Amino acid sequence: MPESPPRVGLFVTCLVDLFRPSVGFAAVKLLEDVGCTVEVPEAQTCCGQPAHNSGDRADARAIALNVIAAFRGFDYVVVPSGSCGGMIVKHYPELFDTGSAGHEEALHLARRTHELTSFLTRVMKVDKVEARFPARATYHDSCSGLRELGIREEPRKLLASVEGVSLREMTDADVCCGFGGTFCVKYPGISDKMLEKKLRHIEATGADTLIAGDMGCLMNMAGKLKRVGSAIKVRHVAEVLAGDYATPPIAEAE
C-alpha cells in the first residue's frame, strides 16, 4: 500500500448511476472511512458488458478503451458490483490481442480494479465497519462476483460487523437469480422461473432484508418481490455497510 492515502477511482456502474446513486455515495463513504481519497472520473459511462455479452466485440473494446483512459493514474479502481468488476478484471484483457498495447493497458487496469467489499477486506485489510443497520438479513451471491472474482466471505464478514444485522443463509445462495443482463428480457419466462425458486429460498429464511452486491440482481429480485406483494426489503450491501437506512429500499416508496 502506498504511503500517502490510496487514490481510488470509483467506477460507479451504469445502474448505480442511473437508478441508485445512494449506493455510489455509500461506497464513497466506506472508502473514505478507511482512508482513501475518492475521485469519480467524468468520462466513465458503462463497463461495456451489454455489448460484450451480445457478441459485439468492437463496441465492447471501444468502451473498454474509454474506461481504461478514464481510470489512468489511480492507485485503485473500485466498483460496487461483482459483475462490472468481473468485466474489467476478467474480460477486458480478453478483448485485446495478447502483447498489444491495449492488452497491456487492460491488464494494468485489471490488476488495480476491485469489487467494493473485496477491496475493503483484501486490500485495505478491514474486517469490520462502524455502522448500525437493523436487519434480519440474507445474502445472495451474485454470479460474477462469486465465480469470476471469488467473492464469498468478504461481504458476509463485513455485514456481520454491522450492529443490528443478523445474517441467515438461504439455500442455494450461490444460484443465479435469473437476471443475466439482457437474458431477463429476452427469455422472461425462464428468468421468472429462476426467480420463483430464488424467492422461495429467500422467504424460507424468514429474513426481512435481502442483500446483494449487484444492482442487476437486486433490481430483478426486488421487482419480483414487490410484484408478489412481499414485505422483504432489498438493499445493496454498500448501503447496509454504510448504515444508510434512511434511503428507501430498492423499489419501495419514499
Partner 1 sequence: MTEMSTTAFKDNVAKALADDQLQFAMTETGPRFIAKRTKAREALPEFDQLRDQARGIKDHVLDHLDIYLERYEAKVKETGGHVHWAETPDEARAAVLEICRKANAKMVTKGKSMISEEIDLNRHLEENGITPVETDLGEYIIQLRNERPSHIIAPAVHLTRGQVEADFRRVHTHLDPGRDLSEIPSLVEEARGVLRRKYLTADVGITGANFLIAETGSSIIVTNEGNGDLTQTLPKVHIVLASIEKLVPTLEDATTILRVLARSATGQEFSNYTTFSTGGRRPGDPDGPAEYHVILLDNGRANVLGTEFQDMLRCIRCGACLNHCPVYNAVGGHAYGWVYPGPIGSVVTPALVGIEKARHLPNASTFCGRCEEVCPMRIPIPKMLRHWREKEFERHLQPTTMRWGLGLWAWVAKRPKLYRRATALAARVLANQAHGKGRLKKAPLASGWTEFRDFPAPQGKTFHRLWKERRS
Positions 142 through 161 that interact with partner 1 (CB under 8 A): 143-144, 147-148
Pairing of strands 209-212, 132-139: parallel
The answer to whether the CB of 61 falls within 8 A of the CB of 87 is no
Please tell me whether residue 251 binds partner 1 under the rule CB under 8 A.
Answer: yes
The residue from 18, 153, 160, 208 that contacts partner 1 (CB under 8 A) is 18
- Among positions 121-140, residues that touch partner 1 (CB under 8 A) are none
Please tell me whether residue 54 binds partner 1 under the rule CB under 8 A.
Answer: yes
- What cell numbers appear for 44 in the block? 466513465
Stretch that binds partner 1, among 1-9, 120-128, 152-160, 172-180 (CB under 8 A): 172-180
Query: Starting at the edge strand that comes first in sequence, how are the strands of the sheet with 37-39 ordered?
Result: 37-39, 7-10, 76-79, 113-115
Give 107 or 161: the residue with its C-beta nearer to partner 1: 107
Give 126 or 184: the residue with its C-beta nearer to partner 1: 184
CB of 129 to partner 1, least distance (A): 21
Length of the chain: 254
Nearest to 238 by CA among 230, 229, 247, 225: 247
Partners of 234 in the β-ladder: 210
CB of 1 to partner 1, least distance (A): 25
Please tell me whether residue 102 binds partner 1 under the rule CB under 8 A.
Answer: no
- Helix locations, the chain, DSSP H: 14-19, 21-33, 49-52, 57-70, 82-86, 101-112, 116-118, 143, 153-160, 183-186, 188-204, 215-227, 237-241
The residue from 81, 113, 118, 191 that contacts partner 1 (CB under 8 A) is 191
Stretch that binds partner 1, among 97-105, 115-123, 150-158, 185-193 (CB under 8 A): 185-193
Stretch that binds partner 1, among 29-37, 44-52, 107-115, 157-165 (CB under 8 A): 44-52
Position of cell 451471491? 141
Please tell me whether residue 32 binds partner 1 under the rule CB under 8 A.
Answer: no
Q: How far is CA 181 from CA 73, 99, 188, 214, 219, in A?
A: 30, 31, 11, 11, 11
CB of 197 to partner 1, least distance (A): 8
Give 55 or 125: the residue with its C-beta nearer to partner 1: 55
Stretch that binds partner 1, among 19-27, 110-118, 130-138, 238-246 (CB under 8 A): 19-27
